[in-house]
Structure 1
């Protein structure tokens, strides 16, 4: 594990206090993650943080990944793909004696797959969704990092 990840884990464990061994207070202590509830969907988003506190656009920085129409480029290489299907339909043969054949099964097995493209998110935050928030140091600004689900 990298040293930076280990140091971040220690800071989070110690509530953001980078001087935990000295038991000194850190005014920039990490308060932890918050869970809020979406009261109104973007673009005029409102997130309820507590019964008394509602966050508005000017209180939020929103991860692009939770917004509708968000696109990411992807590349797949050296991957294997295999799928099998049955009762796949039929083929039609043209010519002097047109006829059709039933395709009873189809098996595609590729040793390698290469693909490039874009993925577009089509869902969006909606009223009632739970979201994960991280407070900025002054706690007047929150970073909405992801939609949360309960299992």
Structure 2
């Protein structure tokens, strides 16, 4: 485990207090995560943090990954792909003697797959969604990091 991960775990365990061994208060203490409820979807987002507190655009920094139309580039390499399909249609051959062939089955088994492309998110936050929030140091600003679900 990396030293940074261990240090982060200690900070979270100590409630954000990086000086826990000295018993001194840390003004940058991590207050923990919050769960809010979306009251209005972006672009004029409102998130209810408690019965009395509603966060608006000027109180939020929103992760791009929860926004509609968000795009990420991807690359796949050294992957394997296997699939089988049946009743795949037919091929048509043109020329002096046009004819067709029925494709009864198709098997693809590749040990090397390479691909590049973009993924676009098409869903978006909507009223009633639960979201995970992290307070910034000044606590007037919250970072909306992800949509939350209950199982």
Q: Same fold (TM over 0.5)?
A: yes
**1:91 Cα deviation after fit:** 2.3
Q: Secondary structure at the match of 2:16?
A: coil
Report the more deviating stretch, 82-91 or 51-60.
82-91
CA distance in 1, matches of 2:93, 2:66: 47
**1:25 Cα deviation after fit:** 2.3
CA distance in 1, matches of 2:37, 2:58: 17
**1:92 Cα deviation after fit:** 2.5
**1:51 Cα deviation after fit:** 0.8
User: Which residues of structure 2 form unaligned runs of 5+?
Assistant: none
For this pair of structures, how many residues does the alignment match? 151
CA distance in 2, matches of 1:64, 1:44: 15
Q: Secondary structure at the match of 1:105?
A: strand
Aligned to 2:103: 103
**1:98 Cα deviation after fit:** 3.4
The TM-score with structure 1 as length reference comes to 0.93
Aligned to 1:53: 53
CA distance in 2, matches of 1:103, 1:127: 48
**1:60 Cα deviation after fit:** 0.1
Stretches of 4+ aligned residues off by more than 4 angstroms: none
Aligned to 1:26: 26
Please list the CA deviations of residues 28-68 of structure 1 after superposition, one character each: whole Å capped at 9, or x if unmatched: 21111001111111000000111111000000000011111
Q: Over aligned residues, Cα RMSD in angstroms?
A: 1.3
Q: Secondary structure at the match of 2:7?
A: helix
CA distance in 1, matches of 2:122, 2:140: 30
CA distance in 1, matches of 2:149, 2:88: 37
CA distance in 1, matches of 2:92, 2:126: 46
Q: Secondary structure at the match of 2:18?
A: coil
The TM-score with structure 2 as length reference comes to 0.93
